[in-house]
Structure 1
Amino acid sequence: MAREVDIIGYLPPILHEIKEIVAIANVEKPVLDSLWQQIEDTLDNQFVVTANEQGVERYEKMLKLNVLATDTIETRRFRILTRYQEQAPYTYRVLKQLLDSLLGEGQYELKRDVEAKILSVKIELTVKGMFDSVVVMLERITPQNMVLTVQLRYNQHNTLARYTHAQLAAFTHKQLREEVMS
């Protein structure tokens, strides 16, 4: 919430008792509150991380990003940040740092075969909502002479080993493979 405006507090004490002055102050208060809120929103919209719906729409329009109706504000902010991160040339180390900053450390597996010119990225299920944005970003920054493979890293045996068969029986095979197990 923006700053609270107390108009009466700015007036001399003698005017606090006049009904008309108090009524005018009460009418002006919502207008000033709205103005302060707009100022705060404008400041927040200067930065992608704090942008509200209007700010995110502005960034998407500037960057010509396609928006899905099901996207959350966090997903849309992530897509904007990934577009701003795309600045060539990329080294392997810079690519790792970029993926660390976007997905988080340990949320992906990156393999590179220089001789075969293959770049393989496996993304953890915990960040699968960002999968499409990561694919688009990697396609834009990966050299054209390299084969790019981006996949989800599904649940492995070591993830499911801590559960008993009775606990796992409540899930379908697809759920066991593709859903995050907590």
Structure 2
Amino acid sequence: MARLVRLKDLMSEYYSGVLEMETLLEVEQYELDELQSAIDRQAGNQFVMTADADGIVAWESMVGIETLTSMDLETRRYNVLARLLPPKPMTITYLSELLEMLNINAKLVKNGTFSFNVEFNATDYGAADRLNLLLKQIMPANLVFNTINKVTSTKQGTAYLGAGSLKEIERTNTGVLHG
């Protein structure tokens, strides 16, 4: 953080070398720096993309999202942005535009009547989770989508791959689990 005002620079030559005055200005400079920090923080929290953890809590409260501090800040930020999107009929064209607007490097590939693959390149650790949450929030219930993270590399060496799947389990009112 850059200081906007340095009190010692504003001090008159008359007070130069006076210990009491220099000490007083040093203490006041600390208070001014704290005030500037609070102003900068408040200004950053006015916008979702620059908000810190406390700012995101306020945004989540405004849009009616439960605050989950276990999620990383970027995921929470994207959840707020997704909730702020204007209501518009969801089409594949609109979804493609939305992914581009949110700077998500993804491509939609139709692989059935009501099924799509979303091929993307993850930019960071939480990108896949953010994409899945976004798709779950905005996709119609009758469409099935699979997210595929396409990773490319020019480095040579041993690659260790893992695969897994998630089968959703539904709990019925009889207490029996169906999967």
TM-score (ref. length: structure 2): 0.72
Cα-to-partner distance string for 1:12-48 (whole Å, 9 max, x where unaligned): 1111222221111111111110000011111111111
Residues 108/70 of structure 1: CA separation in 2 closer, same or farther (3 Å cut): farther
Deviation at 1:110, TM superposition (A): 4.1
Query: Counterparts of 1:7-46 in structure 2 under 5 Å?
Result: 7-46=7-46
Within the candidate set 137, 162, 165, 1:176 is matched to 162
Letter of the structure 1 residue corresponding to residue 58 of structure 2: R
Alpha-carbon distance in structure 2 between the residues aligned to 1:22 and 1:154:
59
Give the CA deviation at 1:79.
1.4
Alpha-carbon spacing, 1:110–1:79, altered in 2? closer, same or farther (3 Å): farther
Equivalent residue number for residue 92 of structure 1: 92
Which letter does structure 2 place at the counterpart of 1:120? F
Secondary structure class of the residue paired with 2:145: strand
Q: Deviations over 1:70-110 (max 9, x none)?
A: 311111111111222242134432221002223523x2424
Separation in 2 of the partners of 1:65 and 1:80?
Answer: 8
Root-mean-square deviation (Å): 3.1
After TM superposition, give the deviation of residue 59 of structure 1 in Å.
0.5
The aligned amino acid for 2:101 is: S
Given the alignment of the two structures, is residue 137 of structure 1 paired with residue 132 of structure 2, yes or no?
A: no
* Identical columns (%): 23
Q: One-letter code of the match for 1:111?
A: K
Question: Which residue does 2:146 correspond to in 1?
Answer: 151
The verdict on how the C-alpha distance between 1:51 and 1:154 changes in structure 2, with shifts beyond 3 A counting, is: closer
AA aligned opposite 2:118 = K
Distance 1:163 1:25 in 2: 59
Inter-partner Cα distance in structure 1 for 2:102 and 2:7: 45
* Secondary structure in 2 matching 1:120: strand
- The answer to whether structure 1 residue 55 and structure 2 residue 55 are counterparts is yes
Q: Taking structure 1 as reference, are residues 57 and 41 closer, same or farther at Cα in structure 2, changes over 3 Å only? A: same
Q: 1:101 to 1:110 in 2, by over 3 A?
A: farther
Distance 2:2 2:42 in 1: 12
Structure 1 or 2: larger helix share?
1
Shift in CA distance, 26/154, structure 1 to aligned 2, threshold 3 Å:
closer
Hey, what's the Cα distance between the residues in 2 that align with 1:2 and 1:51?
19
Task: Kindly indicate whether residue 71 of structure 2 is the aligned counterpart of residue 74 of structure 1.
Answer: no
Structure 2 unaligned regions, length at least 5? 165-179
Among residues 118, 125, 149, which one is paired with 1:122 in the alignment? 118
